[in-house]
Amino acid sequence: MHPSIIQFLVFVEKHKTVSNKEHLIQSCVGAFGLIQDRKVFHCDYFAVRFSYSQNGSFSNTVLSLSALEKYDRIPFFVILVKGNADNVIYLANTTFLSKISHSSQALTMTNIRGSFNGNDIMKQIDGVDNKPENFEELFARHIGIDWQDNLQRLVDASSSIKSVSTKFEPNAQEMENIRDSVERARQFVSSDDYTELLHDLDQRCEEVNEAILVASHIENVNIRGRLIEALITADKKERQRLLSDLAHLEQALPTYDTRNGLGDYIRYFESSDTYTDIKTKVIYLNSNPKMYNIDKFLQCMAENKSVFMFYFIGIDDKGIQHTALCSVYHPVLLSSMQLQFHWAGRSTRGVAQASGLAINAILNLNNCKEIDKQLASNYLNILLAR
């Protein structure tokens, strides 16, 4: 996290006994030059909402979801000023909300309505407490999940909303195909087709090397990643269109709509149908990117020729430093995978995130073909049991 965030958390801890909300706000604004935007106070590095409770309960409304959207790319803190105890601070980005409580009956994917209450902020996320010593780890998880994914989860989880997502329930043949996907992956990474796919992706990457350097400086991690993915998979005319108007970049980016909703780049070989997800990693930044929706992954693996790969691009302020093509079943990746169980909700298995440190490790490997069949099979059992 940025030093300003660390300093802010230390400041809040030192002032945890200040029981007057207005006095605490004035102190924070004076110390950090925060700008007020209605109920939110913010700077370039974080935003904060102050709430008050005389008895320490936290059921009052905090903020509208539409207001939170403006600040969801930076740490969004909620400080509960208590009249009878020490103040507490929580991370309250969308990843850490369990639902939308107020006016949620109007919330849809295209209608951002409703507000969240204090008790909608998760105080523990997959066994990790929502408190300052864990904020860096938790925000690394959040930054790897985009707004649309969080919105979908909140729509499904909120009261009076009918879920639009469904859990994939494989039949007997599909279950067999899923279990066979480990052997399919092992055969693919040992074949000439793997070498051809790697050469293809590396060549495409080299053709847009300079453009990727420009894109790497885009602050929004999701737009940056989508742009680089589009530059690699697009033809020359499409690449030029994307680079010509960065001011309207998000609207210009293509929407990937593959048959399985998995993978940015699809290539069919005689023995394999490959779905490759392109992931960019700024080497010196800490983030745990979302890797895939678990149900979509299982649905793809249920096809009899499907192989799912990741093409990692490691970039720094000088451009592309390393690339790597590995199977979804690479042991370094599997050992670091974080299954976000709070995403599972009523009707889906949720999403999987990988550790940014694991991706850095893969980028530094000389050989990315390793697959541990037993480890991969055990992992599939965990996913199928969800």
Query: Quick check: is 71 in a domain?
Result: yes
Same domain, 12 and 47: yes
Q: Give the domain-ending residue among 129, 157, 185.
A: 157
Same domain, 125 and 181: no
Query: Quick check: is 327 in a domain?
Result: yes
Same domain, 72 and 40: yes
Q: What is the pLDDT along the chain (386 residues), one digit of tens a residue?
A: 899 999 999 999 999 999 999 999 999 999 999 999 989 999 999 999 999 987 777 888 899 999 999 999 999 999 999 988 999 999 999 999 998 886 555 677 777 888 899 999 999 998 899 999 999 999 999 988 888 888 888 887 764 444 455 788 999 999 999 999 999 999 999 999 999 999 999 998 888 787 777 777 676 666 777 778 888 887 777 767 766 654 445 444 454 444 446 778 899 999 999 999 999 888 877 778 889 989 999 999 999 999 999 999 998 877 788 999 999 999 999 999 988 755 444 567 888 999 889 999 999 998 899 999 999 999 999 999 87
The overall pTM is greater than 0.85: no
Same domain, 334 and 189: yes
Query: Quick check: is 269 in a domain?
Result: yes
- 185-188, long-range: CB within 8 Å, 24+ apart, which pairs? 185/307, 185/308, 185/327, 185/328, 185/329, 185/371, 185/376, 186/327, 186/329, 186/371, 186/373, 187/271, 187/272, 188/271, 188/272, 188/274, 188/307, 188/309, 188/327
Domain that holds residue 356: 172-385
Same domain, 151 and 44: yes
Backbone torsions φ then ψ of 259, nearest 5 degrees: -55, -35
Query: How many independent structural domains does the chain possess?
Result: 2
Q: Give the domain-ending residue among 157, 187, 219.
A: 157
Same domain, 238 and 99: no
Query: Quick check: is 336 in a domain?
Result: yes
Query: Quick check: is 162 in a domain?
Result: no
Same domain, 88 and 227: no
Query: Quick check: is 165 in a domain?
Result: no
Same domain, 257 and 152: no
Same domain, 294 and 344: yes
